[in-house]
Structure 1
């Protein structure tokens, strides 16, 4: 079962829900992704996501669309939205739930159209993988953007996951890599995914990376727990 995530979505969608997705991270953390949460409606979404959906305009590409909750909401508002995911199971669920336009592809392999809004929600910027890959990732997003387009993304500064000393500094393991780079493995019904890199970005690092790649970066709103919503656009 290579598409662990997609299989879990398919099971939940077909009323075969018996367990959640387990995640094991390089931070020695074990966690779960509750499947019902991936099928939440607009009223059940956190304020940052609701805010992003209200700001979405024009033609929209929902990158890493999962079960399609964001795409369905935008579609119901009458907006032209395309749901993209590299999980075949996720795309099947989106189609069965009524998303009209879907693309089964990784974002880096896709460049057929340009959009007014690119959505990267649920820490979608994590798809970049590592900080060193942000140049390639942001340059690819630029190819998908119309001249007056916008990227709406949320992320978290995970500095809080490291121990703090009496002076307020943080104990980060001596490493050459940025502290927001995490490797995850997903496990579902005894099957494990291949390990994959995921990136959590503090806002200042995102802003610096954006500016260095010709994009303006604006802090739209902040959540309750080191999380934030940002908007990227071409520098004027």
Structure 2
């Protein structure tokens, strides 16, 4: 499978990228930022960093870890396993010093790990929306519950469809269902085009609905910047 996103990020890391990573939806295109999104160091002493750290206990699963921004910090505190579906990104993580970086699809956690393996999980980067539906999101949360212990916590990112700026996201699709919408796009790099990525965006209330029956409860929702649709939700099994 082609991986233009992972290759572009890896080429950027190794200083050999001379073409942009493009996000495309039909005729609409945007250059995808790489340095700021994936290589700006995570600051655990910032307000947002302290909040995130307060929900982390070991062992930690960093699901969809990308370049390992968070894993690099948290592995100094607790056992951390960083997973990503992209072999290219796993290679970058390992080269950057992530001690346990694995090529694993975060939607196949039951097959990859034993029950109660982790004390907490990070799903930072809105990739949970790739579950594709409310049923898919509930299934993912159930799998995440399977691989975490009875006192586990998790942090999940999302884009809120009910926020005024949500429609500005490239690939946004209107949906009459309250708290839900669609987003569709693909990546292009050096002539290679990714498979079309389909996201089912969910509001915090819809996330709460999806947790029913999974063992998780949404404990807190944090919006660092009220001018964007992005939010971060802390979940608990306590």
Calculate the TM-score normalised by the size of structure 2: 0.83
Measured at CA, do residues 49 and 87 of structure 1 come closer, stay the same or move farther in structure 2, by a change above 3 Å? farther
1:79-134 deviation digits (Å, cap 9, x = unpaired):
21111000000001111111110110101223324111110001132232222312
| Conservation of the 8 A alpha-carbon contact between 2:55 and 2:234 | no
| Conservation of the 8 A alpha-carbon contact between 1:220 and 1:229 | yes
Question: What is the SS of the residue equivalent to 2:22?
Answer: strand
Is residue 126 of structure 2 the alignment partner of residue 127 of structure 1? no
Measured at CA, do residues 13 and 50 of structure 1 come closer, stay the same or move farther in structure 2, by a change above 3 Å? farther
Question: Which residue, 116, 119, 126 being the options, matches 1:116?
Answer: 119
> CA RMSD of the aligned region, Å?
2.8
Cα deviation for residue 51 of structure 1 reads 2.8
| Conservation of the 8 A alpha-carbon contact between 1:60 and 1:115 | yes
Question: What is the SS of the residue equivalent to 1:200?
Answer: strand
- Greater shift, 17-26 or 137-146, is seen at 17-26
Superposition misfits of 4+ residues, deviation over 3 angstroms: 43-50, 172-179
Q: Residues 13-32 of structure 1: matches in 2 within 5 Å?
A: 13-25=13-25, 30-32=29-31
Residue in 1 aligned with 2:230?
Answer: 227
- Greater shift, 147-156 or 83-92, is seen at 147-156
Measured at CA, do residues 101 and 39 of structure 1 come closer, stay the same or move farther in structure 2, by a change above 3 Å? same
Cα deviation for residue 45 of structure 1 reads 11
Residue in 2 aligned with 1:169?
Answer: none
Q: Residues 75-94 of structure 1: matches in 2 within 5 Å?
A: 75=75, 77-94=76-93
Question: What is the SS of the residue equivalent to 2:62?
Answer: strand
Measured at CA, do residues 34 and 178 of structure 1 come closer, stay the same or move farther in structure 2, by a change above 3 Å? same
Calculate the TM-score normalised by the size of structure 1: 0.83
Q: Residues 134-145 of structure 1: matches in 2 within 5 Å?
A: 134-145=137-148
Residue in 2 aligned with 1:149?
Answer: 152
Cα deviation for residue 49 of structure 1 reads 5.8
Measured at CA, do residues 71 and 44 of structure 1 come closer, stay the same or move farther in structure 2, by a change above 3 Å? closer
| Conservation of the 8 A alpha-carbon contact between 1:47 and 1:223 | no
Structure 1, unaligned runs of 5 or more: 164-171
Residue in 2 aligned with 1:195?
Answer: 196
Cα deviation for residue 21 of structure 1 reads 1.9
Residue in 2 aligned with 1:62?
Answer: 62
Residue in 1 aligned with 2:218?
Answer: 217
Residue in 2 aligned with 1:166?
Answer: none
Question: What is the SS of the residue equivalent to 1:122?
Answer: coil
For these two proteins, the number of residue pairs brought into alignment is 225
| Conservation of the 8 A alpha-carbon contact between 2:145 and 2:215 | no
Q: Residues 89-104 of structure 1: matches in 2 within 5 Å?
A: 89-104=88-103
